[in-house]
A and B are shown apart, each in its own frame.
Chain A
Amino acid sequence: MNAVIKSVAYTLTHAPDLVVHAGSTQTTERIVNPESDYLKAITGGLRPFEDVVNYAPNQTYIGGMTPAQLAEIPMPWYENGLPQASRFGKFGEIMPQQELYLLLQICDSFDLVLLETDYAAKAAEEAAKHPMLVELLARAKAGVETAVIEAAMADGAEGLYQDGKLVGCVKKAHSIDENLSAHVILENLVSKATSVISLLNLVKNSGINRADIDMVIDCSEEAVGDMNQRGGGNMAKASAEIAGFTGATGSDLRAFCAAPVHAIITAAAMVKSGTYKNVVVTAGGSTAKLGMNGKDHLKKGVPVLEDVVGGFAVLISENDGTSPEILSESVGWHSVGSGSSPQAVITALVTDPLDKLGLKITDIDKFSPEMQNPDITKPAGAGDVPASNFKMIGALAVKRGELERAQLDEFVTRHGMVGFAPTQGHIPSGVPYLGFGREDIMAGDIQRAMFIGKGSLFLGRMTNLFDGASFVVQKNSGVSPAGSVSEEQVRGLIATALRDFAKSLGGE
């Protein structure tokens, strides 16, 4: 039987000082043009936490509002914030930087993260009010004097800043190994911490007993290792340890931005085969991509919108007879020989798997390709990525005779949606709609949705190939394991029996 999407969690972590000190656009600028106007101006373009919480695409990502509701708000969205929005949504939360720094220390098993005494105390005080961080406070360490942090900085540590002030640091983990430099350790710890907060939200959302999770797959884009095995891994197991998944093993799956879709296909196959019962696919986010398009944003008077680190977690479980199924029998993939033209890509990812299922493009109610927020990408000159994808899919439907050319705009509106995910590489890649898609299918609003991830393999210089994969999620067929009736059917039978009983009491 097909595996199901049992639960999801989405998180964002506000990291304005990491934009300045860890984003690759800024670190590169500091090397090539240290006196640039951009570096002088960037702090003025950063948003306060309240604006990040009130930002409608961020609210959509954590489930505070739907993509359809977001589409009703006029762009630019950064000028039309939602007053009084909550940092917590039904899928997850938006975390402030101070909590992130404490979580970095909680996730650090080698005493590499130092926080200043007063800052650490204040962060712990705030974390004690957090519904999930409170359980991890025992892992936090006492703060240190500023002089200790400054001494570590003189020895190659990366600074942790709050409003520009040094409040801590991440030390290097080896004297000469670049793979364990402070920069890499910071990058990896942020990825781990933002995965952990997503895992904790997933536990809350699903209600699952943590010990019942068998396998965790991390599909982020960082390499964990040392000089002898630069990408050795295993981020998944490291995150699972902090999240308290005592019964779980783990492994990492890397495929640039296509990794989340590859990971969900893999997890679904693992569960369907009976190897594991509950598999979690998770990813933390990227410090390097913070402020990636900051130059274009500031040039156009736009705030530095790439100021959050993304994260998500998805629980894929045995078929429960009610949750939407992942159709493992026909997934899409871009093969080595597929070709790189847009038509070849969409054919491989969309129509080839649909043909095997006997479905037309128009049988997919919602497509979720790369879901980048156009508020971020349009001022940067990268256009509206989701809209371009929906047009390409619709154009192929026209070519196949499944849609009239005049219906193309309507197709884009009906089968697509506005983008709402931060430009964090793998984070916007197909998966942001899994939560809403699950709900829309279970509410009967749609029958099925297709999720598409794409990856820029050529960036690693090992191949010039592009990559992509896709899967379809569909309303549950209602048949639970071993041919027994589903929970939904049992509820229906009980309701009928009670109605009949009530009627008999009424003397009918």
Chain B
Amino acid sequence: MSILANMKVIAIGDRDGVPGPAIEDCVKTAGGEVVFSSTECFV
């Protein structure tokens, strides 16, 4: 499954939801390239 093949991805995660590193893993599995990843805390 390479639904994100040849795509560059910016991942903004949420500490109390899905954090950046978890999104990164999903993007890589789907063939995408993470160009920026960050996790933010909104509380």
A-side residues, CB < 8 A to B, are 257, 339-342, 370, 372, 377, 380-383, 385, 388-389, 423, 425, 428, 454, 456, 458-459, 464, 466
Query: Shortest CB–CB separation between residue A463 and chain B, in angstroms?
Result: 11
Asked, given contacts A388-B16, A389-B16, A454-B15, whether A372 binds B43 with beta carbons under 8 Å apart, the answer is yes
Nearest-neighbor residue (CB-CB) of A345 within chain B: B19
> A388 to B21, Cβ gap below 8 A?
no
> A466 to B43, Cβ gap below 8 A?
no
Interface residues on B, range: 10 to 19
Asked, given contacts A342-B22, A385-B16, whether A459 binds B42 with beta carbons under 8 Å apart, the answer is no
Q: A456: which B residues are within 8 A, CB to CB?
A: 15, 39, 41
Q: A377: which B residues are within 8 A, CB to CB?
A: 42-43
Q: A423: which B residues are within 8 A, CB to CB?
A: 43
Nearest-neighbor residue (CB-CB) of B14 within chain A: A382
Q: B17: which A residues are within 8 A, CB to CB?
A: 342, 383, 388
> A340 to B43, Cβ gap below 8 A?
no
> A380 to B42, Cβ gap below 8 A?
yes
Q: A466: which B residues are within 8 A, CB to CB?
A: 15, 19, 39
- Select A340's contact among B19, B41, B42, beta carbons within 8 Å: B19
> B18 within 8 Å of A by Cβ?
yes
> 20 pairs across A/B with beta carbons < 8 Å?
A257-B41, A339-B22, A340-B21, A342-B17, A372-B43, A377-B43, A381-B42, A382-B14, A382-B43, A383-B16, A383-B17, A385-B16, A385-B43, A425-B43, A454-B16, A456-B41, A458-B39, A464-B20, A466-B15, A466-B19
> A464 to B21, Cβ gap below 8 A?
yes
Query: Shortest CB–CB separation between residue A385 and chain B, in angstroms?
Result: 5
The 4 closest A-B pairs by CB, nearest first: A456-B41, A382-B42, A341-B22, A340-B21
Tell me the complex Cα distance, A389–B43, Å. Answer: 14
Tell me the complex Cα distance, A425–B14, Å. Answer: 15
Tell me the complex Cα distance, A464–B38, Å. Answer: 9
Tell me the complex Cα distance, A298–B37, Å. Answer: 30
